[in-house]
Amino acid sequence: MPKATSISPGPRRRWSRWLPLGLAAILLAVPACSDSKPDEPGKPAATGNATGGIPAPPRAEPISVRELPLPPVAPSDDPGACTAAVNPHHTGCLAGRGGFQSGGYLPDGKSVTARVTFAGAPAAPDPASVYSGSQLIIVRTDGKTFAGGDAWKCLTCGVPAANAVSTNQAMDYPQPFRDGKRVLFGTNILDCGEHPLADEACTPAETHIYPIRWENTADGSGKGGSLRELRIHPDDVHLGFSSFTIGNGRFGQFAYLGRLEFDPAPTTGTPLAPRYDVVKVTRLFDPADTQPMSVDASDPATLVYDRDALSVGELRGFSADGKEVTYIGYPEESSNIDVFAADLTTGKVRRLTANPEYVDPIDLSPDGNWTVAMDTRGSDRQMFLAAMRDVPPITDMVTTSATSSTRNNGMRRFFQPILIDRYGDRGDYQGQRINAAGDGSPGSVNDPNWNGMADPRWSPDGTAIVYWQALATSPACGGENPLPCETSTAQGGRTYRMMIAELTSRGPAPAPKVAPISDDVPWGVKYVPGSAIPSRPHVPAGTYTVTGARGGSAKVEVTESADKVAVETVAVAYTDFTNDGVSTLNGTEKVTVTVPALTTSKVDWFSDLTQTVRAKDGTTTTNTKKSSPDGFHLTIDVLTNIFEATGTLTTTIDGKAYRQPANRT
């Protein structure tokens, strides 16, 4: 059976190397638009009366959005600025800018975690001196208060130094365990022993903070490997994480799954203090497995795209039942960065999003029927790159780092929270913007200058979503930037806020209890401490043909870098290429990407594509993707995301032209 070259919307299939061919399952992902009636708002799409077995999209549902309470803002960072007049309860004041991130719900569904930065605390020995610097708090979502009278409670303030030996500095992505007694934050775990975190018995004296360490040396020495973007598995036992790599002068990343084991008295490695070790680790990548783009083993002159290859990039989390891992994957359509889910046992893959805009932070609902995503859709930020659909992801062999980096302007995000059913974007259904209701005025829930950040989180019963936003501030606005800076309407002029979206028509749909999963991921490779980091295979230099599933072909020329460690240039010439028999592609595209610095990509892009799309009534539409005659030239750092380009790249769809953002905007 030939491998599929199509990237058109439709089912994803993975012929697992651990299952007989006839047992491979079909997962529904991004179907064509259905002509059947939409489902009721807030209910999972049904499978009946739908085109091609794909359910009709759900109707928009009522959503109520409000801001959650936070400690008051200090008038300054000066010691003692947080006076009784500002906070009569003497429980701290916040810095007005930066140092904030919301997290996940406690299992009772009444509180959510957040990382904050306290400022203006009085000097010791004043008891309020503990409300200083980066701390972890929980915030009530039900309008009630804790015993002290506040809607928040600090978990880390005042924890004795003896209870927090060798705590790591990172405090991001605070995620409560399902036991309600622990929180993963940064590369630490806060543990309140037998007491629920929200209980008054969970005091600083009862609280311990333990660092997390990943063994990466053969003899067990050293401080361990670098972990980032940690996500706790729903079984409370396993941990997913990503780790950057540097090899051959290039920046990379792999995702991992491991087991958390508490060691009260470690004898090797640092710190030699009570800690959690990540053991029995699996890298979620096998260089021997099928890659998204590869040379056909039966025909060395043919290049094939395997849409079911497990191309796990950055790990984003897990399904609530613990069976799937979510991640950013290799594009299915050129320049379109999406999120996927893969079954940890079978390797079956499904595409969660398909809109041509950029998506990254996501969370899957407790019942598994919905995705909440922070997405740039509606901003047109990525449309100059990705608006032309059904283009094979061939140039993406070199462009993914650069195209994903254009999503931001420095610290300014263009994300908004989007609710999508499990069958994904299809036809006219592109999800529902959660905070659409409002007049767009300063401080309103849909104020465009307040942009979504990572990560949105479902309540345990699936009736609410908590997310946070940051206000655009200089230099992402004002000065040379044409976007004027807005004066914050939040209390104390805060430039961040935590929001709750209540899905008012829904009843509780809690997640199932999750037993500990296996340490083994059959499609991954067991990590051996001290072993060499693998390289991702790439297509070798040569000239290839890609055949359209429904006609036409593409001639592809691949040029490697001088050291032959990566692809440097991809040139494609399309001739009547079609995967679906509806859209036909002609023209050329050539992209060269060099790496002048470790995290920087320099892109030289020449595009002259024409796509003809035939409608059901026989009429046709012509779309184009064209660079200026001298090409489009972009230099961008994957860590800072500042857009700097010369030349132009414009994609025109149905007569609407999508142009690149202005430099530094």
35 upstream amide cis, omega within 30 of 0? no
Apex 129 CA angle, 127 and 130, nearest 5 = 90
Residue pair 375/338 in contact by the 8 Å Cβ criterion: no
Query: What's the mean pLDDT in 71-93?
Result: 97
For residue 492, the one-letter residue type is: G
Confidence of residue 22 (pLDDT cuts 50, 70, 90): very low
Note if the pTM is more than 0.85.
Answer: yes
77-80: long-range pairs with CB below 8 Å, 24+: 77/119, 77/120, 78/120, 79/120, 79/121, 79/122, 79/123, 80/120, 80/121, 80/122, 80/123
Query: What's the mean pLDDT in 640-650?
Result: 96
Per residue in 444-494, pLDDT (tens digit) is 999 999 999 999 999 999 999 999 999 999 999 999 899 999 999 999 999
Residue pair 331/337 in contact by the 8 Å Cβ criterion: yes
Residue 596: predicted pLDDT: 92
Residue pair 640/662 in contact by the 8 Å Cβ criterion: no
Q: Which of 392, 396, 384 has the alpha carbon at shortest distance from 625?
A: 384
Instruction: State the chain's mean pLDDT as an integer.
Output: 91
Which of 142-151, 248-257, 383-392, 435-444 shows the lowest mean pLDDT across its residues?
Answer: 248-257
Per residue in 501-536, pLDDT (tens digit) is 999 999 999 999 999 999 999 999 999 999 999 999
Confidence of residue 41 (pLDDT cuts 50, 70, 90): low
Question: Residue 6: how many CB atoms within 10 A of its CB?
Answer: 17
Residue pair 453/468 in contact by the 8 Å Cβ criterion: yes
How far from 511 is each of 45, 181, 235, 368, 419, CA to CA, in Å?
18, 18, 12, 8, 18
Q: Provide the sign of the torsion angle of the four alpha carbons 161, 164, 166, 170, taken in this order.
A: negative
Encoding tokens for residue 630? 């001298």
Question: Residue 617: how many CB atoms within 10 A of its CB?
Answer: 5
Residue 51: predicted pLDDT: 55
Residue 514: predicted pLDDT: 96
Residue 524: predicted pLDDT: 97
Residue 52: predicted pLDDT: 61
d(C-alpha 164, C-alpha 448), whole Å: 41
d(C-alpha 241, C-alpha 283), whole Å: 10
Instruction: Please state whether beta strands 656-659 and 349-351 pair in parallel, antiparallel, or not at all (unpaired).
Output: unpaired
Q: Please determine, for residue 227, whether its predicted confidence score (pLDDT) is greater than 70.
A: yes
Residue 6: predicted pLDDT: 34
User: Which tops the pLDDT comparison, 153 or 98?
Assistant: 153
534 upstream amide cis, omega within 30 of 0? no
Per residue in 98-127, pLDDT (tens digit) is 899 999 999 999 999 999 999 999 999 999
Question: In three state form, how does the secondary structure of 571-598 look?
Answer: EEEEEEEECCCCEEEEEEEEEEEEEEEC
Q: Please determine, for residue 46, whether its predicted confidence score (pLDDT) is greater than 70.
A: no
Query: What's the mean pLDDT in 416-431?
Result: 95
Apex 191 CA angle, 186 and 196, nearest 5 = 120
Q: Which of 105, 103, 129 has the alpha carbon at shortest distance from 114?
A: 103
Which of 52-56, 309-313, 442-446 shows the lowest mean pLDDT across its residues?
Answer: 52-56
Residue 328: predicted pLDDT: 96
CA 377 to chain centroid: 14
CA 246 to chain centroid: 22
Percent of the chain whose pLDDT exceeds 70: 92
Q: Please determine, for residue 235, whether its predicted confidence score (pLDDT) is greater than 90.
A: yes
Residue pair 346/520 in contact by the 8 Å Cβ criterion: no
d(C-alpha 33, C-alpha 9), whole Å: 10
H/E element holding 559? Answer: strand 551-560
User: Cβ-count burial of 235 within 10 angstroms (0-12 exposed, 13-18 middle, 19+ buried)?
Assistant: middle
CA 452 to chain centroid: 12
Residue pair 620/612 in contact by the 8 Å Cβ criterion: yes
Per residue in 318-347, pLDDT (tens digit) is 999 999 999 999 999 999 999 999 999 999
For residue 164, the one-letter residue type is: A
Residue pair 326/364 in contact by the 8 Å Cβ criterion: yes
d(C-alpha 268, C-alpha 215), whole Å: 10
d(C-alpha 144, C-alpha 123), whole Å: 30
d(C-alpha 239, C-alpha 324), whole Å: 13
Residue pair 131/115 in contact by the 8 Å Cβ criterion: no
Query: What's the mean pLDDT in 379-390?
Result: 97
